[in-house]
Every structure is written in structure tokens, then in C-alpha cells.
Copies of this chain bind each other. A is one copy, B any other.
Amino acid sequence: MSYERDNIRRMTAYQWGEQPDSREVLKLNTNENPFPPSPAVAIALTAFGVDQLRRYPAPTANDLRQKLAELHEMEVDNIVITHGGDEGLRLALTTFVEPGRCFGMLEPSYSLYSVLAEIQGAKIFSAPLGDSWDIPRDFAHQLNEAAVNLACIVNPHAPSGTLLDADRISRLANDFQGVLLVDEAYVDFVDPALRYDLVRLINAFDNLLILRTFSKGYSLAGLRLGYLIGAAELIEPIINKTRDSYNVDQISQTLGEAAIGDRAYAEETWRQVRAARRLLREELIKMGFQVGISQTNFLLAEVPLDFSASAEEIYRALKAEDILVRFFATPLLEDKLRISVGTKAQNTRLCKALARIIGKLT
């Protein structure tokens, strides 16, 4: 006898990227920062007294909230700390989407969105992205027609790396009648010259949530730490009702504060990733891949038709050489590889392997 809910039995599980145990593997498949966390994080970990773990953690992580409020020039009430960005996404669904009602998204995007919507028992309204990853002009209208409670977009976009400007998102938040969650998992890698800043819109819109994570920008994927920024009225039910009461452990709170305290270190890693991204893109283009401009820490490389090797074949050949990149066997993506930007040395190793593989296969 099966006890699962019908929708759980029917749904397809989220497929996480491969996480090999071996340190020898060059992991360019799950968009981790190639640099280690700040030395300040290491110091905070060493200084952490294990006896503190006897007690429950600070339920609302207020010290960390305070630090983030100062960073973003917002109030504490505008922020809720989450157990990774993924918990922020789940909590938005739990709080704002009635089972049987509609969740909105674009396709392709972060494949977890639809999985979380299915778990919640929500209907999914998914609009296809255009050729150049443009969102439909009338997207807000489409969402309203479908009576969408919550829509998630990822900006900069995954897996293309393209950035939607703040004005476009502002119009979307204005026209859409539900809650708009903008997943800024990769925002730290946006070129500062673009002056992209969505947080300043929070005070203008009561339906805008911004999701941030420590996973990429602060090299803390192993810690599971993220946060949502939004109007106090959006944050309040998440803080007080829908999140687990002690959703962030005490070590994560402490290390998160240390990471924010040494933001200059993280910013330097972002600068280096951007520089490596530019060089890697040039190399890939030289090899014949089609690669758009990315504002993230990954590149989406299209394998042209005149290559004799397909994206999937290249993915497999790289894996045989202990190099992992991400291949999605889904519409718009099956001719592409998503490659996380590594250090210069890692990217060189990748490019040498790619040149060999393409040479061998073509």
C-alpha cells in the first residue's frame, strides 16, 4: 500500500547536480564559487564554542538580520533568514500559494521551481522564454489571466546568465497582481558598472520579494544560508508562521555574520570570477561554441550544428576526464552546456580537455 499523496507519487523529483566525494574531480556543474570562504569565516568557526550548541539557536537570527538590514539599508522587519535559498523559495510557495491555485514561472529557469510547486499541489503556469531569453512583453497580463498567486523569476537568469534590468522588473511588479519573487542567487557576479539594484524597489512594491543566498557569492554552499527581502507584510507570516521555528542553526548564523563582516573579501572573489568569466567566454568562442554574455558565475555554451559531437557527448567525455559540467536534456537546452566559471587554472584545464574532445570527436 502506498501512503504518499497522489501528487507526490506522480511528480518527477528534482535532479540535483552530481556531488562527487572525490576532491580530484573538477566541479564546474553546480555554480559553486571557485574560491574558499573568507578567512574571517574560518576564524569565526575556530572561535565557535561547541557548548553553545546545547541550546536552541536564536529563533529569528536577529543579529544576522540586523547586519543584513544595515547592508541593504532596510529594516530588520524586511528580512527573513532562510536555510539556503531553496528554503526561501519553498516558504514563498507555502505562504502565498493555495494548493490548487496557480504558480507562475518562465521556462527554462531553475528547475526546482516547478518541483516545489508540485509538492505544494499548485497548478503551474509556465511561459516560454524567447530566443534571446526575453520574457514575454505581456507576462504580467498572462500571470493575471491565470490568477497566479506567486511568480518566480531568476535574475540574472539561469541557465542563460542574462540580466533583466530593474525597470523591466519594476513594471512587472507593478502590473502583476500576485507576489513576484526575484531569485537573485547570482546577483553578486553582475558587473557593478551596470548599477543593477533591485532592493531599492522594495519600498515601492508591497508584492516584491528578493531572494539572496550565501551559497555562491560568499562561497558557503555547504552551509545552507539565504534570505528574503521584502515588505514587512510579506515577511511577517514567514517569520512567525510558515518557517520552522529554529530554521537556521547557530553555527550558520555566526558564520553568516562573519561573511558579511568581511564583504570586501567576497567582492574580490566576484571581481576575479568576472575576469575569469570574460577569458573563458573568449576561449569557448574561439573553439567555436556560441556563448552569450553572462552576468553570473557560469556560461551557457551552445554546441553548433557543425560540431560532430553533441552537447551530451561532450558532457560525457568531460566526465570521463573527471570534469563535471551541467547538461540538461530539456527543450532549448539539449544543445548546450552550462559551465560554472572556475579559477583561471581550472578554466584552462577545462579548455584543454574541451579542445582535445572536440578534436577527437570532430
Contact = CB atoms under 8 A, between A and B. Distances in A.
A282 B245 CA distance: 34
Contact of A222 (B53, B83, B219, B242): B53
Given A16-B59, A50-B36, A58-B19, A8 B242 contact: yes
Contacts of A245: 14, 16, 86, 112
A333 interface: no
Count of this chain's copies in the oligomeric assembly? 2
Contact of A3 (B6, B11, B178): B178
Interface stretch (A65-73, A90-98, A132-140, A156-164): A90-98
A98 B250 contact: no
A217 to B, nearest CB: 12
A233 to B, nearest CB: 7
B36 A207 contact: no
Given A244-B84, A245-B14, A251-B222, A55 B97 contact: no
A221 interface: yes
Interface residues of A, number: 83
A274 B84 CA distance: 38
A99 B206 CA distance: 28
Contacts of A56: 16-17, 19, 30, 32, 215, 221-222
Given A56-B222, A221-B56, A4 B86 contact: no
A29 to B, nearest CB: 10
A233 B34 CA distance: 38
Contacts of A48: 45
Contact of A55 (B9, B32, B46, B50): B32
Nearest to A52: B222
A8 B95 contact: yes
Nearest to A21: B58
A310 interface: no
Interface of A: 1-6, 8-9, 11, 13-14, 16-17, 19, 21, 27, 30, 32-37, 41-42, 45-46, 48, 50-59, 83-84, 86-87, 90, 94-100, 112, 115, 119, 121, 149-150, 178-179, 206-207, 215, 219-224, 233-234, 237, 240-242, 244-252, 255
10 contacts: A3-B149, A3-B150, A3-B178, A5-B96, A16-B56, A42-B50, A45-B50, A53-B220, A53-B222, A84-B244
